[in-house]
Structure 1
Amino acid sequence: MNALLGRSAIAMLLVGGSSLMAQSSTGALSGVVRDEKGSPIAGAQVTLTSPSLFQPKTIITDANGEYRDPLLPVGDYVVHVDKAGFQGATSGRVRVGLGSALRQDLSLKPAQEQSLTVVIVDNAATVDKTDTKDSVNVSAQTLQDLPSTDRNFGGAADLAPGVVNTGGISSIRGGTSLTTLYNINGANVKDDYQGGLTGNYLIDDNVEDVQVILSPLNARYGRTVSGQINVVTKTGGNDFEGSMRAVFDRNSWGANNGATGPLQRELSDNLNRNYQVTLRGPVWKDHIWFSLGTILTPSSTATYALNTFGAASVYNDPFETGNANIDNRAKTGAPAGYSFTTFQSGQTYVQSVDSKYFEGKLTWGITPNHTVSLAYSRSHDSISGRDPYGDSGGPIITAASLGTQTDEQTATTLNYTGTLTSSMFLEAKYSKVTNHAVFPTGDPDHPELVLMRIHDINSNAAYAFGTGISPKPDKRDNQNATVNLKLFRDWAGQMEFDFGGEYYEADRGTSLQTGPNNRLFRAGGAFVDAAGDYVFPTINWSGPGVLHQSGSGLTGLAPVMQQFYGADGTTKNKTTSLYANDSWTVNDHWNFMFGVRFDTMKVLDTDGTERASATDFSPRFQARYDLNGDSKHLFTFTAARLGQDFTTGFTDAFIKKSNSTEVRSGWSTNTNAPGSGADYGVQFVTYAQLTDPSNYGTHFNILSSSATQVASNLNAPYMDEFTLGYRRSYDNGGSFGITYVNRTWKHDWAFEQEWQPDYVATATAAGLTRNILATHVFNSDKLTRDYNGLEIQWQQPLNHIWSWGGNFGYSRLVGNNQGGDSGGGFRDNSPEGYYSFRNFLTSQGFTDNDIAPTGPLVNNESQRARVYTTAKLPLGKGFIAYSLLYRYDSGGVWSTTSTAPMSLPPMSGVVAPISFTEYYNGRGQYTFNDTYRFDFKVSYAVPIGISRVQLFGDLQVNNIFNKAIQATYDTTTLPAWQIYGLPPQYFTQGTFGTSGANDSSRGNSFTGGRSVQFSIGLKF
């Protein structure tokens, strides 16, 4: 009986469904009750029972024999039907997933023919044809059984077709990774500034269900031109239950691969562990339930090294101005007792990490038809001995500049669901998410940030004093409110209406690298005495290109001050939406969906002024044909326009902040000009003198994002999508589906610079008037991004123990624009490619193929497959499951480019760029190696004979056959010679395509070797 009852549940582990509303935490179940001849039975009593319900729910079938409940808590259900004159019937176990819309039909026989209740085992629940989006549901048990990357967002996304993972961020059906939404219990936890997830908002053992929305068709969905991933956590119940699990992994349990040697593994062979504790149960039986959880992570330490300047030859000959007299004087002219210093470059330091996490949920069943829930989570990390720019390779070179970084995230959601009448349902939600980080500010004895540069090394290589980061917290918060009214009406068939609205506000509180006094300094080297006092060699600033001084002021011996004019504050991006959606079931075979959404968007700057506003209109349509009227054969066509909002990552390019305007000034107080006089113009100064702004009198450059010209009609980009699909559901719970997807992104944001007078602006700061080159921001249809994909997915139970399933995708993502996607977080807002000095470059004979070619883009993965098989054996009331998962990913694309010279004519005294990025042989014409691996997992839950207590856990072995594949390789190329205006001739570096241990600095990397993780615990 248990095996048969489980068939419906197995089928629903990896299937599509529709959601009640955006970021909903419920699912829907409906069906038709018929007699033996197939005629609908009106007035039948349908009872839904589930551990997720406070009390069983009773629904009376209508004149069409239909029953429905669109606001069911996620969980396992049993459907029972009674009707006078008929024998009662009971379904098998039906898994109602997050946002799913399932159909469970039942058939009744006359009472005189049977004397016992019939258990229906050959009529598994199917995805209903009223489904108004394409999605995949993955239950917590499935994530536990399969060797997934994790048991929440990432694990579910990895098991869904059409999803590409780049740098830990998911790209869905060709969308940029920055536009994918992430929700927990209805709270939007996506980092609106950076994209993806930053921080922890859940406990794996408290996850109930995960939903990956591939195409958010219903008009309830907005603010994304990619897709979204939703998680709902467990709610508790009338019985107490909980778990205690310890999770362990260690490098030495695994194996080496081509890039990792034994020594490296020994140096990092820490036992990583955490302990997950959950507890759920009643506060007041049948009325109020609670769910609690925490992650106990022991404080850990790690050893890192401060940054190094480079090779020893740099230390021996630190100054390279091109003038031997100046270099010699700088090297040997320091006062007696002072010697050249590399500070504490390369010195090791110990970092400690303390992490705390808590989550809780209260659910109150006010009446059987009205429920309120409150969910809250808080994560707090404290990292001492922290280089905020990156440990082990970050720029800091003094231990005193290290400090403590704190990161805290909270998510709060208040949700209401109500059944107003048998055909009217209401859902409302408010959520607030905070994400704050406070960074170390640096050495308290040397508060001004001084960046060291020697031997022409870029100044950012070494931070001698301070970090330059504001002590104000970096804030990335949001709040969201939604309301949805669902109505069912029998008009020319059945109408399912959704009417609602949404308010979303993303707040970005800036905390930037502008120093405690809105300035920072760049020096060419330092000397120190036994007392720890410093002196710095200086020469007067002579201009860009002179004595190896760059036009930006980032290289050379002459000190440079960067003075910033502005203040950190909070910007608010607001979106208000109204929508209407109708899912019209004409008859047993045809269903049509029509939807429309209106969005109004505003960008409020840090001073409260409005920088941009826009409205958007997005229609959606779906036609679905049910071949036999039983949802077993569904043919679907969709056409939709999906809109985005103004993300804070985008508007960061033109809001006011502490570095909105920057003046760069050169050292000017030495008596002699560089190269002249007995000292050759070199003087040694103290730290106090070096950081005195009055010593910088030569203003040579000004930068200002406040001069960015934002188009008055600036709007958010949108995406047009067309899909054509077929889905087959089987009586045993299996399914097969194939979908073709076409997406075209339009009206993308363009950042443009041109070398012509109407792009020149005047910026004024501290009495300095200077012409600068402004950036224009507008929407453009000349920036292209197109996606075509074919997705196949299947799932089949082979018998009561074995099942198998998976998906395969073939796709192509091409264009001339990355859409701001950098492939690893943070939106790229710089002018590049098509709109970077296009007019000038084309006048010099360059074509689009040279500066903005069309070709495969970041996140183009032409082929991707996931195939798994699972054997699950019952052990009394427990189980043991064995699972093998095959992962295949085609190689990423790369382009050959060079930094080509660009000789712009003088204009208005503006500092002219001197180079541009030139493509050779188009965009994305080369690919890295394909990768594949097999992962294995054993999971178990074994009764130990004490009440309901079970021993549970898992053992996961990734890359079980230890197949190490070189995923990327060195692609460095250099122009052998180049005549301006003509294509470069290329040769490759000697390291091109090579590999070896410690080779990652040249772009070579291998897939990870075999790794092992296991967990063990008790649950009841």
Structure 2
Amino acid sequence: MHLLNNRMGRIAALLAVGGVVAMAQGTQTANVTGTVVDGSGAPVAGVTVRLTSPALQGVRTYSTDATGKFIARLLPPGFYTITLTKDGMETQKVQEQLGIDQTFSPRFTMVKTGAAVVEVVAAAPAVDKTDVKTATNYRNDQVDELPTNNRSMETVALLTPGVTTGVGGRVQIRGAMTSGNLYLLDGQNIADNAYNNRGVSVIDDSIEETQVVTGAMSAEYGDVEGGVINSITKSGGNEFSGSLRWELNNPSWNAMQPFQSKATLNNILGEQKTLFLSGPILKDKLWFAASYFRTELNTPNTIGGNLSSDPLGVGAANPTDGTGFGAGYVQGRKDIRRQAKLTWSINQDHTLVVAYMRNAINDTNRNYSAGELLALVPQISVSDFWNATLRSAWTTNFTTEIRFGKKHQNLSAGGSPNGQSPIQSDDTALFYNNGIFNNADGGDNRDNRTYNLKASLFWDAAGSHQTDFGIDYYEGIRRARNEQSPTNLIFEAAGVDLTTRTAIPTAVWVFTSTAGEAKNYSYGLYANDKWSVNQHWNFQLGLRWDKYKAENESGARTAGADGISPRLGATYDLFGDSKHIFKASYARYNAKVLEGITNSVTGQGNPTEVDWYANSFLAAGGDWLPANRISFADIQNLANYAIGGTNPIAYYNNPTLNVRLNDKMKAPTVDEIQGSYAYSFNWAGIGDGYVKVTGVYKNWKNLIDVTTGNQGTVTDPTGATIYMNVWDNNSDAKRKYQGLEIEGQLNRNGWTYGGNVTWSKLQGNYEGEGTNTPGRGESINSWYIQNGVQLFDKNWIHPYGYLTGHDPLRMRLNASKVFNNEFGKTTVGFIYRFDAGSHYSNTRTISRTRLGGATLSSQAGSSFTQYMDQERGAGVYNAAAFLDLAITHDFPLFKVGSKDVTAFGKVVITNVLNHQQIVTFNTSYASVPTSYAYPNAVNAPWVQGSLFGTALNSSGYYGQARNIVASAGFRF
């Protein structure tokens, strides 16, 4: 369930825990495509090739063909041993770590028995020449060596070049909106319906590996404009293994920022417990993996705000019942997660994987703009999600993957159904008397069903080909009455006084919710050919067709369109030895049309709202008179409001009346051009590794925006004329990204050094989302033309410039090493983080009449944000740099059979040097004066606030001080 987000800022947030959508996409397996030759370079046929791995059920056995080739497909990622045997020839072995969606391409030279040892030339997965995409793979155990507070999908993604934090602190990949990424877990999309970022709570210790794909994606990936964060969970093995982990934190362990009081750091131990177990049910046939996570946290807090009438002074509590302003409370959270996975090897060629997940989060005293304790609400979120995958190799040249997923999620929150209504203060925008929403309205239900079929054909013609064909289907179902209070009424008032529990009434907001369900469908067809011409040239030729369709509660189609996206790329291995690899690609991506936009014309999550003025407010000519102060009980008496008839309406919104979609609205598209060069090395005395340089350019088209003021009108229930809100593609909406990335790795003397540097530029006039308002559009063409007459220059409020997430220079460098000693092993890890100063805009508030004149409709709101010199992102904040440290020690305890049982302890210290640095600062300007001394108000002098350019009085302007997190447990 989410808060209504179309109230001009009065209620403008979505619940922090969202739903899940699932479209099975992407690749979760690996391949080996090897060639065997003799000493003269001639192919060797009939070589027996055996693949073994702790990640593999049984042994995979292949035989080389007349060209000396063998191909092993649909391999679970892991550490592999490849053994080659043939009568009269030397037996050979090679070991390699295979990652998600990677192809290992070794070339073996077999010699007669007793001759020299074989030479193996292999393409390192970091510079896989058979694939044009830009991707980085992270094994969970490697991430655990580094100083990260968790091992979540987002934390891993933020280690990757081209990835930064965008709007709302969410993951942004190569300039796309944070809603433009694809989150995959075991092949299923786990994105939240509203924000389209991760919506399922995943247990970190259940993750085996994560791949972050940032560009040059194959046609297999649809509904994406940014990147893909693709994780697979552990499957088990022929030996039992597991772990028990406690993760601990306490705010009192941390250092303080300037202007931060030690009293604000709660001395409360936060504890998270994770249990993971895996092993065989039937060796080589049926494996299991299961994990359990639990945390209970009680956080002391206080009600914030600043009441206009607080007789006891700011911060005083109500002396009669302790529920007033400044009162303390404890916010509680119980989070329980369960995951289970079964992997069944029907035979060498067919594997069935079934996974199940259940999450339950129970929050008490959730604060949704509460002004007193009575306005705190409980919140419960429960989700069930399962999926099944059947992988089959029908012949040596034909494989299939069939997937099915189903999810149900219910999110419920709200005030107590005790007959009382919330009262919102005009002065503080906080709520009193009762909590908003209704925890008895059935909650926000987000269900889906997904189907996916992928077939891969391997064939030879002018080289070798892997041609993938696929079908994707997604059906999303939304049922959400989204009642805004237990009574479907919210009362607006001024001068709230909690001592006398009185206020001056302004209006009553009357909501009407809608039963039923809205549906969104997505269909995808694709063909993608990976063509390996020879040891030098590889090509990608892909084409994808996507179609979406939205339906309202009656089953009527509200919007839909289709689009084609080509994916083309080439790689060139300079000498055919995988040392110097060049790549170039062009791709077009069809982005997801957000369900928050398509559902905006339904009642699901969007109750109708009509606001009526208080009688006394109208009688006072729209003013708040002290003589009109009444009790909270009288404020809730509907007889005190001018409801119905020809009485004026303060606000009106009906998603089925004054909101419309262009029924042929297209999905946004992104054109991407990318080029890269990678060099792999192994230098004596220095070490081995690689370095890679990548350049990318992206340009968005068909961005979806909402326009009001010149899109027609309708009549509200009183006969008044109101303007239409119309969603459609907007050619005036711009968004462009340019980036240059350098990444590399060096292994030397037991140390592993790695990292990346990204220079980038993100510009446009279209943010398209806010911290709590996904899919909001920008209203670029709203109101500046009204009824065909231009009232102001829209570039004053929607200029071109730097967008949120623009990070001109970003560095992430890391190092780690394992030290063995008589007490076990100690692992040390470092991360250095550097971000150039982000850009901010010089802005001020300008009233509606000062911007567009008296003729500009009051439906446009009371004020706008004006940008200085019609330039977005003209100012620059300070750069920030941090050094983080992790120390982990494993203590051997005893053996159980052949298994070692170890204890471990880990401490992570972020900003270990406690660098106290000013990152941002005050950038406030005074509002445009209401005086008409400057007839052209937009050119009135800009007056800086008294604290402009300073970091006084707020710790929020400083980088995070030293932070400490500890973990401990057992592994076997």
**Distance in 1, Cα, partners of 2:319 & 2:902:** 68
SS in 2 for 1:974: coil
Q: Show the counterpart of 1:894.
A: 840
What is the letter of the counterpart of residue 519 of structure 1? Answer: L
Query: What is the CA–CA distance in structure 1 between the aligned matches of 2:626 and 2:124, rounded to whole Å?
Result: 89
One-letter code of the match for 1:98? Answer: I
Distance in structure 1 (CA, Å) of the matches to 2:31 and 2:261: 53
Mapped partners of 2:555, 2:279: distance in 1: 47
Counterpart position of 2:282 = 284
2:914 is equivalent to residue 962 of structure 1: yes
Question: Is 2:562 aligned against 1:615?
Answer: yes
Q: Is the 8 A contact 2:353 2:390 kept in 1?
A: yes
- What is the distance in 2 between the residues matched to 1:850 and 1:77? 60
Q: CA deviation at 1:41?
A: 1.9
Inter-partner Cα distance in structure 2 for 1:962 and 1:528: 42
Correspondence 1:108-147 to 2 at 5 A: 108-113=110-115, 127-147=127-147
Instruction: Give the aligned CA root-mean-square deviation in angstroms.
Output: 3.1
| Aligned ranges 1:583-982 → 2 under 5 Å | 583-657=530-604, 659-668=606-615, 673-674=619-620, 682=628, 684=630, 687=633, 690-692=636-638, 695-697=641-643, 698-701=647-650, 702-706=652-656, 707-731=658-682, 734-754=689-709, 756=710, 758-764=711-717, 768-799=718-749, 801-818=750-767, 820-822=768-770, 824-829=771-776, 831-832=778-779, 834-839=780-785, 846-847=792-793, 849-874=795-820, 879-903=825-849, 911=859, 913-921=861-869, 922-947=871-896, 948-975=900-927, 977=929, 978-982=934-938
> Residue deviations 1:297-317, cap 9 Å, x none?
2x3322222344436667799
User: What does residue 406 of structure 1 align with?
Assistant: 380
Question: Which residue in 2 is equivalent to 1:335?
Answer: none
The corresponding residue for 2:54 is 51
Q: Is the Cα contact below 8 Å between 1:136 and 1:213 reproduced in 2?
A: yes
Alignment-mate amino acid for residue 421 of structure 2: E
Please report how far the alpha carbon of residue 615 of structure 1 lies from its aligned counterpart in structure 2 after TM superposition. 0.7
CA distance in 2, matches of 1:884, 1:658: 45
CA distance in 2, matches of 1:226, 1:491: 34
Q: Which amino acid aligns with 1:839?
A: I
Q: 1:175 to 1:908 in 2, by over 3 A?
A: closer
Select which of 954, 958, 963 maps to 1:1011.
963
Q: Shift in Å at residue 489 of structure 1?
A: 0.6
Instruction: Give the whole-Å Cα distance in 2 for the aligned partners of 1:250 and 1:908.
Output: 53
The equivalent of 2:4 in structure 1 is none
Cα displacement (A) at 1:988: 1.3
The letter for the 2-side match of 1:395 is A
Sort the Cα spacing of 1:874 and 1:28 in 2 relative to 1 into closer, same or farther, 3 A. Answer: farther
Q: Which amino acid aligns with 1:984?
A: A
Distance 2:637 2:269 in 1: 45
SS at match of 2:601: coil
TM-score normalized with structure 1 length: 0.85
3-state SS, counterpart of residue 615 of structure 2: coil
Q: Distance in 2 between matches of 1:577 and 1:1009?
A: 47
Alignment correspondent of 2:939? 983
Alignment check: 8 A CA contact 1:79 1:91 kept: yes
The structure that has the greater radius of gyration is 1
Provide the secondary structure at the position in 1 that maps to 2:597.
Answer: helix
Worse overlay, 223-232 or 772-781: 772-781
Q: CA deviation at 1:168?
A: 4.1
Identity %: 27
| Count of residue correspondences | 924
Find the partner of 1:462 among 422, 431, 443: 431
Q: Distance in 2 between matches of 1:901 and 1:255?
A: 43
Deviation at 1:790, TM superposition (A): 0.4
TM-fit CA distance, 1:599: 1.0
Question: How big is each residue's C-alpha offset from its partner over 1:624-663, in whole Å with a ceiling of 9 and x where there is no partner?
Answer: 1111223332111100110012221322433334755322
CA deviation map 1:914-954 (0-9, x unaligned): 53332103100112111111111122434334242122342
Structure 2 SS opposite 1:951:
strand
- SS in structure 2 at match of 1:205: helix
User: Aligned residue for 1:397?
Assistant: 372
Query: Judging changes above 3 Å, is the alpha-carbon distance between structure 1 residues 633 and 842 closer, same or farther for their aligned structure 2 residues?
Result: farther
CA contact (8 A) 1:188 1:433 kept: no
Task: Write the letter of the residue equivalent to 1:640.
Answer: A
Q: 1-side partners of 2:818 and 2:635: how far apart?
A: 74
- C-alpha distance in structure 2 between counterparts of 1:763 and 1:920, whole Å: 37
* Partners of 1:408 and 1:144 in 2: CA distance: 29
- Bigger CA drift: 977-986 or 850-859? 977-986
Distance 1:776 1:782 in 2: 15
- SS of the aligned residue for 1:946 comes to strand
Q: Is the 8 A contact 1:753 1:775 kept in 2?
A: yes
Q: What stretches of structure 1 of length at least 5 have no aligned partner?
A: 1-19, 318-337, 538-556
Paired with 1:630 and 1:664, the residues of 2 have a C-alpha distance of 72
| Alignment-mate amino acid for residue 253 of structure 2 | W
Give the Cα–Cα distance (whole angstroms) in 2 for the partners of residues 526 and 859 of structure 1: 39
Answering whether residue 335 of structure 2 is matched by residue 355 of structure 1, we say: yes
Q: Deviations over 1:942-990 (max 9, x none)?
A: 4334242122342211111111222221111114655335423112111
Native 8 Å contact 2:107 2:121 kept in 1: no
SS of corresponding position for 1:687: helix
1:80 positional shift: 1.1
1:336-355 equivalence runs, <5 A? 344-355=324-335
What is the aligned partner in structure 1 of residue 14 from structure 2?
none
Cα distance change on mapping 1:912 and 1:969 into 2, 3 Å = closer
Does structure 2 conserve the Cα–Cα contact (< 8 Å) formed by 1:189 and 1:433?
A: no
Taking structure 1 as reference, are residues 611 and 958 closer, same or farther at Cα in structure 2, changes over 3 Å only?
A: same
Q: Can you list the C-alpha shifts for 1:703-722, whole angstroms capped at 9, x where unaligned?
A: 33331232232111010000
CA distance, structure 2, for counterparts of residue 316 and residue 930 of structure 1: 39
Partner residue in 2 for 1:175: 176
Write the deviation string for residues 979-1012 of structure 1: whole angstroms up to 9, x where unpaired: 3354231121112222245x15xxx422111122
Amino acid in structure 2 at the alignment position of 1:250: N
The CA deviation at 1:877 is 12
Counterpart Cα distance in 2 of 1:830 and 1:715: 15
Matches within 5 A, 1:40-189: 40-92=43-95, 94-113=96-115, 127-166=127-166, 167-189=168-190
User: Aligned to 2:401, what secondary structure does the other structure show?
Assistant: strand
SS at match of 1:109: coil
Unmatched 5+ stretches in structure 2: 1-22
The one-letter code of the counterpart of 2:466 is: E
SS class of match (2:612): strand
Question: 2:33 & 2:175 partners in 1: Cα distance?
Answer: 33
Match of residue 482, structure 1, among 452, 464, 475: 452
Return 976-985 or 422-431, whichever deviates more. 976-985
Q: How far, CA to CA, are the matches of 1:714 and 1:179 in structure 2?
A: 18
- Residues 164 and 125 of structure 1: CA distance in aligned 2, closer, same or farther (over 3 Å): closer
Q: Tell me the equivalent position of 1:385.
A: 365
Distance 1:64 1:956 in 2: 52
Asked if the contact 1:138–1:156 (Cα under 8 Å) also holds between the matched residues in 2, the reply is yes
Q: Superposition pairs for residues 26-37 of structure 1, below 5 Å? A: 26-37=29-40
The match for 1:306 is 303
1:567 aligns with 2:523: no
Partner in structure 1 of residue 352 of structure 2: 372
**Separation of aligned partners in 2, 1:988 and 1:528:** 35
Q: Do 2:483 and 2:511's aligned partners in 1 also have CA atoms closer than 8 Å?
A: no
